[in-house]
Chain A
Amino acid sequence: MKNVIEVKQLDKSYGTFKAVHNTSFSVQADKIYGLLGRNGAGKTTLMKLITAQIFPTSGDMKVFGENPYENAKVLSQICFIKESQKYPDLYNILDVLEVSKSIFPNWDVNFSMSLIKDFNLPLNRRIKKLSRGMLSAVGIVIGLASRAPLTIFDEPYLGLDAVSRGIFYDRLMEDYAEHPRTVILSTHLIDEVSNLLEHILVMDNGKLIIDQDAEELRDWAFTVTGQTSKVEAFLIGKEIVHREPFGGLLSATVIRSQNDTDRKQAAAIGLEISPVSLQQLVIHLTNGKSEQKGAIAK
């Protein structure tokens, strides 16, 4: 399949601080990607690099096969909606829509208007006077109605209520089905979107720590529960990201397992295996404890 984004050993430093460090990955066409990680993990920096809003310190980066910087062919295919998007002070919502219409080649006026209705947005209200949630909704309308082959949402729904978030997911999936495109969604509300995502990227401290298909990821990690001694025996040689003792029992989350054999082994000695939610997994992997290394060493 064609790669929309190809990044090799990308670095972005601010002085001694490495916002993005030695990151390599690729993004395939017409899939929905989740870019997850904690605040300050480097997600926004990475997306700004991809869209040529900032410049890399070193490394190689290709978007639609070319360097995105000052590249009309590449940039015209990108719509990047970021939480911190600035709008001219005196603009109202209609101004933003009109300008978007003249900038994005695939802009769909009818779709944008139906989205405006869905989110109850007042067309004539100044952007400055909008609530945080409404401002986020404006970004979502632009992101969806632009139908850019590469659409990137960075924390698109700050301040947005649950109903509006539901509308966003529904309209995104509907429109994605009719007009397939590459979507990168960066968010903290992992549980809400985990069903939409086809591929997961997780960043931590400027590094990409997970780059996996969502289906595979479900098999890739699991939680095992049982008597402490049995669980400990089972865990030998495995990579553990989380352990939680209670009474004589121990519950541990294992990653990078050879799933089938491990599961059979666990079942044979009477241990219970349960899936880990994406949210739990991301929390375990990025909570900053060095549990993993210690566990592997055991």
Chain B
Amino acid sequence: MKRISGVLKLHYRDKWGWIYIPAIILFSSFAINLIISFLMTNQKDLYTGGVSSIFFYTFIAGIFLVAKSFSFAIGMSIRRIDYFIGSSLFGTISSTLIASLIFLLALLEKQTNGWGTRLHFFHLPYVNDGTLSEQFILYMIILLNLFFLGFLISSFARRFGGKGMFIFSLALLLIGSIFFFLISQYEVWGSIFSWFTSRTAVQIAYWLVPFTLLYLLGSYRMLRKAVI
């Protein structure tokens, strides 16, 4: 347990990467949009996708996490499994905090009628259509999925190096091309779109859960055999 808490501390000490930079990204985007909405004199609503920056950042943070800290952690005699558990725990805690923050801000935005300027930054149609618990679950699922996808990618890079990463990317590109070619060939785009549009945001998000678990499993298998 001491080692796992050591790993948590190891990540937490990097306050720039985990607190300051994401906060700056999210709130600078919000501030700019707020100013624009304030300056807009027509009575229209302003919709922005600015909140997606924090989701994107979570993905990037997952990638950087292993790159930044794995060598250091193993060099400090930490077991790979402790590093994995500690880092996953850290990602989960961070995702929960971010989800709570944007959940509360979305609520506040709704209550204040878009901060008094009809800005839709946090509270968006479709995304925030569900019940309150559904909205929170949606945030959690997406953030965790993105974090652990990033985590998987950098664990893979750690395990197989740049060359392995390159080969894997090529393989993925090839498989993707074949996949999309087949979809076009058999004309199933229409049914795919209607599958998505007939479901609510959180219903689609549930489908990400098994993928997230697969990422976790994959990351652990990579890190177990990773060297420094």
Interface residues of A (CB under 8 A from B): 48, 51, 53-55, 70-72, 75-76, 78-80, 82, 85-91, 95, 98-100, 102-105, 148
Residue of B3, B16, B75 touching A72 (CB-CB under 8 A)? B3
Residue of B15, B68, B76, B82 touching A99 (CB-CB under 8 A)? B76
Expressed in whole angstroms, the Cα–Cα distance for A51 and B68 within the complex equals 21
- Shortest distance from the beta carbon of A61 to any chain B beta carbon, whole Å: 15
- CB of B6 within 8 A of CB of A99, answer yes
- Shortest distance from the beta carbon of A272 to any chain B beta carbon, whole Å: 49
Residues of A within 8 A of B13 (CB): 88, 91, 95, 98-99
The verdict on A53 contacting B76 (CB below 8 Å), with A88-B69, A90-B14 known, is: no
Expressed in whole angstroms, the Cα–Cα distance for A87 and B5 within the complex equals 18
Q: Quick check: is B80 within 8 A (CB to CB) of the other chain?
A: yes
Expressed in whole angstroms, the Cα–Cα distance for A246 and B78 within the complex equals 56
- Shortest distance from the beta carbon of A36 to any chain B beta carbon, whole Å: 22
14 of the cross-chain contacts (CB-CB < 8 Å) are A48-B228, A51-B77, A53-B227, A70-B80, A75-B78, A85-B75, A86-B75, A86-B228, A88-B69, A102-B5, A102-B9, A103-B2, A103-B3, A105-B2
The verdict on A75 contacting B77 (CB below 8 Å), with A91-B14, A102-B5 known, is: yes
- Nearest residue (CB) in B for A102 is B6
Binary contact track B1-41/A, C-beta < 8 Å → 1, others 0: 01101100110011111000000000000000000000000
- Shortest distance from the beta carbon of B17 to any chain A beta carbon, whole Å: 6
- CB of B72 within 8 A of CB of A103, answer no
Nearest 6 CB-CB pairs, A to B?
A86-B71, A103-B6, A95-B13, A102-B6, A54-B227, A75-B77
- CB of B77 within 8 A of CB of A89, answer no
- Nearest residue (CB) in B for A75 is B77
Other A-B pairs beyond A88-B68, A103-B3, 10, CB < 8 Å: A53-B227, A53-B228, A55-B227, A70-B79, A82-B75, A86-B72, A88-B10, A99-B9, A103-B2, A103-B77
Q: Quick check: is B107 within 8 A (CB to CB) of the other chain?
A: no
Interface residues of B (CB under 8 A from A): 2-3, 5-6, 9-10, 13-17, 68-69, 71-72, 74-82, 224-225, 227-228
Residues of A within 8 A of B225 (CB): 55
- CB of B2 within 8 A of CB of A102, answer yes
Residues of B within 8 A of A78 (CB): 77
- CB of B79 within 8 A of CB of A80, answer no
- Shortest distance from the beta carbon of A104 to any chain B beta carbon, whole Å: 8
- CB of B3 within 8 A of CB of A76, answer yes
- CB of B16 within 8 A of CB of A99, answer no
Interface of B is mostly: helix
Expressed in whole angstroms, the Cα–Cα distance for A81 and B6 within the complex equals 18
Residues of B within 8 A of A54 (CB): 227-228
Expressed in whole angstroms, the Cα–Cα distance for A253 and B10 within the complex equals 52
- CB of B77 within 8 A of CB of A80, answer yes
- Shortest distance from the beta carbon of A82 to any chain B beta carbon, whole Å: 7
- Shortest distance from the beta carbon of A145 to any chain B beta carbon, whole Å: 13
- Shortest distance from the beta carbon of B204 to any chain A beta carbon, whole Å: 36
- Nearest residue (CB) in A for B79 is A70
- Shortest distance from the beta carbon of B105 to any chain A beta carbon, whole Å: 27
- CB of A90 within 8 A of CB of B17, answer yes
- Nearest residue (CB) in A for B21 is A90
- CB of B227 within 8 A of CB of A72, answer no
- CB of A79 within 8 A of CB of B2, answer no
Interface centre among A55, A76, A80, A103 (most CB of B within 10 A): A103
- CB of A53 within 8 A of CB of B75, answer yes
- Nearest residue (CB) in A for B8 is A102
- CB of B79 within 8 A of CB of A75, answer yes
- CB of B3 within 8 A of CB of A88, answer no
Residue of A75, A89, A98 touching B9 (CB-CB under 8 A)? A98
The verdict on A53 contacting B74 (CB below 8 Å), with A72-B82, A89-B68, A99-B9 known, is: yes
Residues of B within 8 A of A90 (CB): 14-17
Residues of B within 8 A of A100 (CB): 76
Residues of A within 8 A of B74 (CB): 53
Expressed in whole angstroms, the Cα–Cα distance for A170 and B62 within the complex equals 43
Residues of B within 8 A of A98 (CB): 9, 13
- Nearest residue (CB) in A for B228 is A53
- CB of B14 within 8 A of CB of A72, answer no
- Shortest distance from the beta carbon of A64 to any chain B beta carbon, whole Å: 12
Expressed in whole angstroms, the Cα–Cα distance for A276 and B1 within the complex equals 51
Interface centre among B10, B225, B227 (most CB of A within 10 A): B10
- Nearest residue (CB) in A for B20 is A90
Expressed in whole angstroms, the Cα–Cα distance for A295 and B194 within the complex equals 86
- Nearest residue (CB) in B for A87 is B72
- Nearest residue (CB) in B for A95 is B13
Expressed in whole angstroms, the Cα–Cα distance for A48 and B10 within the complex equals 22
- CB of B79 within 8 A of CB of A71, answer yes
